[in-house]
Amino acid sequence: MTDRQNFSETDNPADRTAQVVILGAGPAGLLLGNLLHRAGIDCVVLERADLAHLHARARAGFLAENTVRILERHGLAEGLRSHGRPHATCEFRTDDGRFRLDYAQLARGERHTVYPQQNLVADLLTAYLDAGGRVHFGTEALRVLDTDSERPIVEARGPDGRSVRWRARYVAGCDGGLGAARRSLPPGTVVHHHDHGLSWLSLLVEAPPSLDAVGYAVHERGFAGHMARTARITRYYLQCERGTPPDAWDEDRIWHELNVRMRAAEHGPLHRGSVVQRTVVDLECDVVESLRHGALLLAGDAASMPTPSAAKGANLAVLEAEILAAALVDDLAHGDGRALADYSRRCLEHIWRAQEFSHWMVRLLHAAPGPDGAPSSYDAGLRRTRLEALRTSRVQQDWFAENYVGL
């Protein structure tokens, strides 16, 4: 695959061209590239990271059934079907004990497939390259110009530091909330933003899962979460103060807090292992409205950033990429621009629903900070009521299951 890792054209002083330039080689960008390439649309993916970093970039790993259906529909689900693990149980631990929800037995009867995002990215990249798709690694898009024209320009910097320009009919911004697509939005673009005032220490631990469920622990010391990734790797979350550096807590403190908040003394010990990755995640979210600005279209985290509280990001990215691919094919191959004109509206319906449920999950798991920064006693009371309703009401459980897995 080495010969295909970077299609270097730095000897050509002229602008390079493609019908669609895709910014970012995450799930949205690579699925979009696969679908456009198969439809005969000339496209190229620009990715600022190198190939090794792309394969090692650990992200969310809970794929909804609709995401699996989309990948299967396009023949891109072989890896997750072979190595993904079905998952359908979550456990809540509180001062009042613990309870479980088998959400595959509720609402629509849907479940998740646990499949690390870096594995999905590797699958999509392999399929794209095997089909002859073009990718430029180590190429950072800097800005998108002339988005109100029919020949927008992407200015980028290649692996050698030299400038390069791409001309296209459309530019698909799939490069996240800090990428060139967001930076190139025209003045006056509405970006809805909300900061929950909460932060998590996100930990990737070299240890097998400690329970056969997603674990949500609500504790007076703060939230703690447990999510399996593989048979040997587990993701943990610990609520921390805003501004905490990722390396502020040593491993002894991390494991002490996890054991206390997850009530290991009552419900069973945690499998301890080395912390191999740690970051601090501020629970902030945003939505760009609209997702189309002339020839610039947004998908994935460039379109909206939900909190990680309900694992919606990758699932939204796959859904949006399929919708965008079909709309671009209609426009470029058949001269029918109606679906493209409706792209933003269709996606925003799904995005706002995912945002609403993610917001609800944040309020379920945390008491919002009051004016003095301490948890609000009023909000804590509402949280107890929400948890009790989820424990006892079948109607509430069905609503939770439909939104937890669905979009």
Contacts of 118 (CB under 8 A, 6+ apart): 54, 55, 56, 57, 58, 59
Among the listed residues 196, 312, 350, 359, the single catalytic one is 312
Q: How far is CA 77 from CA 38, 159, 405, in A?
A: 16, 31, 18
Query: How many residues appear in the chain?
Result: 407
Nearest partner of 203 among 275, 142, 261, judged by Cα: 275
Distance CA 221, CA 249 (A): 15
C-alpha 406: how far from chain center: 14
The dihedral formed by the CA atoms of 48, 54, 57 and 62, expressed in degrees to the nearest 10: 110
Contacts of 371 (CB under 8 A, 6+ apart): none
Nearest partner of 274 among 257, 250, 239, 241, judged by Cα: 250
Residue 236 is among the residues annotated as catalytic for this protein: no
DSSP state of 271: -
Angle at 342 between CA 336 and CA 345, to 5 degrees: 170
Distance CA 391, CA 349 (A): 29
Q: How far is CA 69 from CA 64, 318, 353, 393, 398, in A?
A: 9, 10, 20, 30, 21
Residue 343 is among the residues annotated as catalytic for this protein: no
Among the listed residues 116, 152, 209, 308, the single catalytic one is 308
Residue 216 is among the residues annotated as catalytic for this protein: yes
Distance CA 130, CA 153 (A): 28
The pair of three-digit structure tokens given for residue 335, joined into one six-digit string: 């001269």
Inter-helix orientation angle 313-334/65-73, to 10°: 30
Among the listed residues 37, 87, 226, 366, the single catalytic one is 87
Distance CA 110, CA 406 (A): 8
User: Are 154 and 141 within 8 A, CB to CB?
Assistant: yes
DSSP state of 94: E
Among the listed residues 103, 236, 237, 404, the single catalytic one is 404
Phi, psi torsion values for 17, nearest 5 degrees: -135, 155
Among the listed residues 103, 170, 216, 236, the single catalytic one is 216
Residue 404 is among the residues annotated as catalytic for this protein: yes
Residue 312 is among the residues annotated as catalytic for this protein: yes
User: Are 208 and 85 within 8 A, CB to CB?
Assistant: no
Q: Which residues are catalytically annotated?
A: 87, 216, 308, 312, 404
